[in-house]
């Protein structure tokens, strides 16, 4: 491989490229390198460019997100109102508000760094090989999980953003039987109660997604020798910048979610909520299907672009000495030492895992016995160096080189500078080369992760195989970004360091300002405005009705059993919406929305629930005044069945419901944390004048300190059951306790 090959890689010039659209990818990387040049100039050092560390920085940010999230969980509560008020309390606390801001900005930065990392991996074609294609797919999966975790995180706050997310769910599920039932039972109807089950489910989803992200990240980086975390100075800079931004620019807290309000203007985090605007349109399902198709396409894109797998290193059993240098240096753990088949042989032999090998050739640079071969591995030996300067550069540098090659130099392209054997310097110089120069990628930017650092260590005598003593220090080393090969050749030895450590504290300070400015842009972006139409009003009808049963608004049962139910909305005497509800068994359950102009309107909402389509059950009729951005919510639900003793006993014993048995016994003499409730249905009638036993029991549940039993103190029973129990559960519990008339009466 003498001169400048027409394509990048370690192939011979006449070997077909293993990639489709290889030149297009080269053009994309060239554009990315050009776009990143100002950042490299600002940092003033190839060693302080943050872009090559985007992947490792994302792992660090993930750790910050998880730790800060676990801290915030300690102060979180569950329920439509409880969750919002818990976040409001955090916002008013000096430490919790800072941690919340760190959590928000680290989450946005995590999405950004993962996207930047994925783009750099893609344009650099670092997806060839079976294991690397799997790494790519797992990375795509991790990015999707990060996005979903961010969505659930915003949902937990239960503010106006959460209300917008609710509207997305209503639009997606409201027209299906199972989906409509879930919405009415858990989110919109009277059965939803305090909503603690919904918020608890979202919290578990958020926690589960975070665990899945951690696992996907582990799968992404396992079985490789690449670093998981960025160098310490990057972690210190990111931590400092996050704290500064969290203090200087606290995150917002919008108003609470309001069922009577339409989606209004709000700051919209484009890193997480970028799909919210299209999902709020009538094409929500199309958007969902398009996103799913894009995710699948992104995951399989490397397979589609790869014509064939990269060449696999071939091991000469006779030459292999079992020294294990190649095993130690292989970035992707593709080599291992195993005993030879000959029982008399004392030496082990290196064996290659063809699924893990990516054809980088780094192991060839480790082997001093010629026991390994790979296409292009003899490029240095084939060159005619007499009277010329020999430049050994990785394929990316050769691909993106600008300018003409001088007559007194020869450029040798290899897949990675880690493929170059340090003892080849002696061969080149002894054959008449005037000088030898090794040009690799800057710290953190090697296509194979560690090829540049291995090369530097070998040339500096820190790692075997070493340069022969006679030629030690002869070769110039330069580690520069692709596209700067010509400059490196013009100024040999000007960039000799492959270590990521900063040049000086002054350089580190300047880079710190770059990191802070970058994070400030991220923080500002999370406040991107979203302005949906706000000059309209609306009517929302929430129905949970079984035809033939009695509605809460009706004096008697209505409809015919088994009939389909249609919602009819009329405004100013004109029908503007007529929609048949989905069925869940014999129940008609669903949500119907209509948009109207603001102002005073005559509204009638009716149900058609008989075979006679002209017969209507009117559930609302009035002349309300509609303000822009507001909606009238009309609920149509059946009278709940009279609660029985058995249902109340279930509430009493349920740990997720009343959990009463934790503190109270129903056995005579079973006093514990709270007094025994045996006979409470009898003696409760004598506790307070004017209150029946049932009224006294209800008061004791909702206002525990209204009457204190002798021997107990105020505040011992929590005042939480107004929110924790639905009206039906409360009635059932009162009925059960009222039935306890024997024992300690």
Helices 727-738 and 693-702, interaxial angle, to 10°? 130
pLDDT tens column, 10-52: 333 334 566 777 889 899 999 999 888 888 888 877 788 889 9
Structure tokens at 160: 């106006």
8 A C-beta contact, residue 362 and residue 440: no
Q: State yes or no: pLDDT of 691 exceeds 70.
A: yes
C-alpha torsion 445→446→449→454, nearest 10: -120
pLDDT computed for residue 8 by the predictor: 33
The DSSP annotation for 167-178 comes to: HHHHHHHTTSHH
C-alpha–C-alpha distance, residues 67 and 333, integer Å = 31
Q: Which residues pair with 314 in a beta bridge?
A: 373
pLDDT computed for residue 128 by the predictor: 84
Helices (H), 379-490: 379-382, 395-399, 424-430, 451-459, 485-490
Top-confidence residue, 534 or 26: 26
The DSSP annotation for 344-367 comes to: T--SEEEEE-TTT-----HHHHH-
pLDDT computed for residue 113 by the predictor: 95
pLDDT tens column, 668-683: 888 888 888 998 988 8
8 A C-beta contact, residue 381 and residue 370: no
The DSSP annotation for 295-346 comes to: HHHHHHHHHHHBSSPPP--EE-TTT-----HHHHH-TT--EEEEE-SSTT--
Residue 560 CB contacts under 8 Å (≥ 6 apart), including other chains: 547, 548, 609, 610, 611
| DSSP count for the chain of H helices, then E strands | 24, 20
Which DSSP letter does residue 283 get?
T
pLDDT computed for residue 14 by the predictor: 39
8 A C-beta contact, residue 109 and residue 522: yes
C-alpha separations of 87 from 59, 156, 195, 211 in Å: 26, 9, 16, 23
Q: State yes or no: pLDDT of 417 exceeds 90.
A: yes
Its sign, for the CA torsion 484, 489, 494, 498, is: positive
| Residue 654, helix vs strand vs coil | coil
C-alpha torsion 716→718→721→722, nearest 10: 110
Residues counted in the chain: 745
76 phi/psi in degrees, rounded to 5: -90, 150
Q: State yes or no: pLDDT of 289 exceeds 80.
A: yes
8 A C-beta contact, residue 166 and residue 173: no
pLDDT computed for residue 17 by the predictor: 63
Q: Please, what is the average pLDDT of the chain?
A: 89
Top-confidence residue, 222 or 478: 478
pLDDT computed for residue 744 by the predictor: 57
pLDDT computed for residue 650 by the predictor: 86
pLDDT computed for residue 13 by the predictor: 36
pLDDT computed for residue 745 by the predictor: 45
| Residue 575, helix vs strand vs coil | strand
272 phi/psi in degrees, rounded to 5: -120, -45
C-alpha–C-alpha distance, residues 368 and 319, integer Å = 10
pLDDT computed for residue 381 by the predictor: 86
Q: How far apart are the first and last CA of the chain?
A: 100
C-alpha–C-alpha distance, residues 85 and 78, integer Å = 10
8 A C-beta contact, residue 400 and residue 32: no
Q: State yes or no: pLDDT of 297 exceeds 60.
A: yes
Relative to beta strand 587-596, strand 335-339 is unpaired
Which of 177, 148, 185 is CA-nearest to residue 291? Answer: 148
C-alpha separations of 620 from 455, 605, 630, 632 in Å: 79, 5, 17, 11
Top-confidence residue, 493 or 20: 493
pLDDT computed for residue 642 by the predictor: 64
C-alpha–C-alpha distance, residues 428 and 420, integer Å = 12
C-alpha–C-alpha distance, residues 479 and 495, integer Å = 6
Mean pLDDT of 41-65: 89
| Residue 274, helix vs strand vs coil | coil
C-alpha–C-alpha distance, residues 252 and 703, integer Å = 35
C-alpha–C-alpha distance, residues 274 and 530, integer Å = 10
Top-confidence residue, 52 or 658: 52
In sequence order, what E strands does 586-699 have? Answer: 587-596, 599-600, 603-608, 617-622, 625-626, 631-637
Which of 108, 107, 104, 88 is CA-nearest to residue 257? Answer: 88
C-alpha–C-alpha distance, residues 662 and 717, integer Å = 11
Helix (H) or strand (E) holding 479: strand 476-479
Mean pLDDT of 613-629: 93
Lowest mean pLDDT among 121-130, 355-364, 375-384: 375-384
Helix (H) or strand (E) holding 412: strand 409-414
Mean pLDDT of 84-105: 96
């Amino acid at each position: 491989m003498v001169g400048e090959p027409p394509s990048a890689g370690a192939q011979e010039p006449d070997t077909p490229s293993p990639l489709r659209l290889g030149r297009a990818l080269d053009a994309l990387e060239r554009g990315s390198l050009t776009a990143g040049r100002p950042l490299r100039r600002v940092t003033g050092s190839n060693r302080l460019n943050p872009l090559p560390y985007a992947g490792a920085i994302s792992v660090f940010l993930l750790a910050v997100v998880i730790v800060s999230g676990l801290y915030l969980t300690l102060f979180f509560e569950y329920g439509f109102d409880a969750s919002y008020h818990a976040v409001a309390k955090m916002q008013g606390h000096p430490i919790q508000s800072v941690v919340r801001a760190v959590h928000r900005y680290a989450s946005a930065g995590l999405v950004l760094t993962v996207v930047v990392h994925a783009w750099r991996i893609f344009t650099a074609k670092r997806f060839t090989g079976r294991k690397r294609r799997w790494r790519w797919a797992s990375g795509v999966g991790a990015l999707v999980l990060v996005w979903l975790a961010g969505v659930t995180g915003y949902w937990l706050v239960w503010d106006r953003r959460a209300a917008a997310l609710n509207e997305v769910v209503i639009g997606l599920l409201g027209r299906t039987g199972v989906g409509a039932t879930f919405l009415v039972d858990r989110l919109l109807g009277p059965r939803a109660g305090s909503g603690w089950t919904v918020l608890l489910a979202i919290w578990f989803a958020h926690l589960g997604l975070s665990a899945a992200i951690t696992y996907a990240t582990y799968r992404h980086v396992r079985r490789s020798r690449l670093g998981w975390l960025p160098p310490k100075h990057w972690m210190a800079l990111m931590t400092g910048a996050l704290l500064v931004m969290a203090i200087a620019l606290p995150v917002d807290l919008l108003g609470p979610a309001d069922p009577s309000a339409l989606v209004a203007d709000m700051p919209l985090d484009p890193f997480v909520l970028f799909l919210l605007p299209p999902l709020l349109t009538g094409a929500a399902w199309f958007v969902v299907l398009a996103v799913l198709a894009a995710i699948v396409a992104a995951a399989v894109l490397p397979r589609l672009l790869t014509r064939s797998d990269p060449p696999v290193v071939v091991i000469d059993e006779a030459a292999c000495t079992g020294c294990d240098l190649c095993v130690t240096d292989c970035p992707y753990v593709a080599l291992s030492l195993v005993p030879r088949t000959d029982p008399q042989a004392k030496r082990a032999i290196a064996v290659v895992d063809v699924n893990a090998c990516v054809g980088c050739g780094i192991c060839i640079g480790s082997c001093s016995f010629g026991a390994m071969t790979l296409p292009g591995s003899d490029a240095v030996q084939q060159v005619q160096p007499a009277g010329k300067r020999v430049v050994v550069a990785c394929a990316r540098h050769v691909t993106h080189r600008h300018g003409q090659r001088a007559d007194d130099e020869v450029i040798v392209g290899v897949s990675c500078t880690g493929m170059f054997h340090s003892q080849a310097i002696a061969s080149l110089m002894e054959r008449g080369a005037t000088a030898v120069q090794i040009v690799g990628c800057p710290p953190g930017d090697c296509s194979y992760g560690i090829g540049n650092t291995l090369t530097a260590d070998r040339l500096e005598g820190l790692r075997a195989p070493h340069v022969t003593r006679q030629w030690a220090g002869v070769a110039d080393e330069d580690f520069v970004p692709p596209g700067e090969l010509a400059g490196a050749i013009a100024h040999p030895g000007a960039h000799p360091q492959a270590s990521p450590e900063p040049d000086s504290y002054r350089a580190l300070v300047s880079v710190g300002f770059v990191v802070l400015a970058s994070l400030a842009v991220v923080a500002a972006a999370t406040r991107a405005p979203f302005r949906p139409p706000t000059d309209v009003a609306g009517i929302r009808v929430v129905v949970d009705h079984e035809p033939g049963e009695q509605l809460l608004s009706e004096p008697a049962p209505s409809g015919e059993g088994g009939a389909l139910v249609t919602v009819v909305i009329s405004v100013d005497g004109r029908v503007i919406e007529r929609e048949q509800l989905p069925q869940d068994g014999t129940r008609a359950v669903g949500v119907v929305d209509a948009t109207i102009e603001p102002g005073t309107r005559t509204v009638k909402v009716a149900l058609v629930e008989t075979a006679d389509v002209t017969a209507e059950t009117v559930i609302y009729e009035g002349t309300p005044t509609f303000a822009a951005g507001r909606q009238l919510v009309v609920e149509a639900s059946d009278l709940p069945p009279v609660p029985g003793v058995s249902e109340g006993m279930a509430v009493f014993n349920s740990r997720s419901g009343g959990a009463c048995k934790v503190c109270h016994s129903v056995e005579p003499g079973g006093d514990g944390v709270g007094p025994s409730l045996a006979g409470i249905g009898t003696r409760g009638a004598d506790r307070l004048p004017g209150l029946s036993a049932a009224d006294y029991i209800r008061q004791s549940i909702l206002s525990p300190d209204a009457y204190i039993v002798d021997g107990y103190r105020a505040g011992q029973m929590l005042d939480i059951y107004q929110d924790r129990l639905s009206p039906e559960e409360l009635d059932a519990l009162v009925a059960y306790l009222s039935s306890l008339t024997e024992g300690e009466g």
